[in-house]
Amino acid sequence: MGVVAGNKVRIGFFSFTEITDPVEHRSYNEWHMLDHMPEQYPLDGVAFGERWVSTPACRAARAVSDASLDSIHYMTLYLMTEPVERTLREFMALGRELREKDRFHLHRRSRLSGPFEVQSAAAAPRVLVSAAAVPYRPNLGVYVVVADAADAAEGARPAHDASEALAALCAQPGVAGAWSFADDARRITVAWLDAPPLDVNDRLAALLVPASGAGTVRFAGPFETITPWQWDWFDER
């Protein structure tokens, strides 16, 4: 298990989610924010969670969006601490329990979901908080890159050290901090933004997509922070 100095978080559990019925966005947001996500926090190892939206404008601004992730509307990230294995078991068991109680949204499909180890973390010096504290700081959105690991063909765990890349990213105006995550096959970079995502989109795409290493980039694009009860992005105009 990877350990980043000063950071109690070991795992980022991601879900890149598509809503399969266009009229169900409001009910999905109501369910996830008011029912599903709050139930995760009593688990011992769940430190925090947040979900962001790829609005129609964010979708249009994506630098990369291949077939595997093109249909997504939302990204959720739960941060998990020790005991990781028990936390993951309880997390999965809770999902099954809520489904059995009809407390699960049926009009959703996860296009990429699972635990990714924290590999590296950085904060912009101007924000003062530590790199470990960045996800808990209020944000206006995130910029996210999903790439294949350069050594996935050999089946090895990615050895890419993203520290220098994250430091360069945190030097960009509007970036408060960034973390990198990895599993056996993929790497995910998340940059937390305190500027409107579309204002910094082009600069971050130009910086992050060429720096993705030898692995193929599957997704690169912005997401906006979700404000409770303001869920009208996909309503017919």
179 inside domain: yes
pLDDT at 214: 54
Average the pLDDT over each of 41-45, 47-51, 97-101, 161-165 and give the range with the smallest value: 161-165
87 inside domain: yes
pLDDT at 57: 98
94 inside domain: yes
What does the pLDDT average to over 167-193?
96
Report the share of the chain in percent with pLDDT over 90: 84
Q: Is pTM, for the whole model, over 0.85?
A: yes
pLDDT at 154: 41
Domain total in the chain: 1
Amino acid identity for residue 216 in this structure: T
Range of the domain at 90: 9-225
pLDDT at 149: 86
Average the pLDDT over each of 22-36, 101-115, 209-223 and give the range with the smallest value: 209-223
Q: Can you state the angle between helices 163-170 and 197-208, rounded to 10 degrees?
A: 150
Return the CATH number at 127. Answer: 3.30.70.100
232 inside domain: no
109 inside domain: yes
pLDDT at 237 over 80: no
What does the pLDDT average to over 89-103?
92
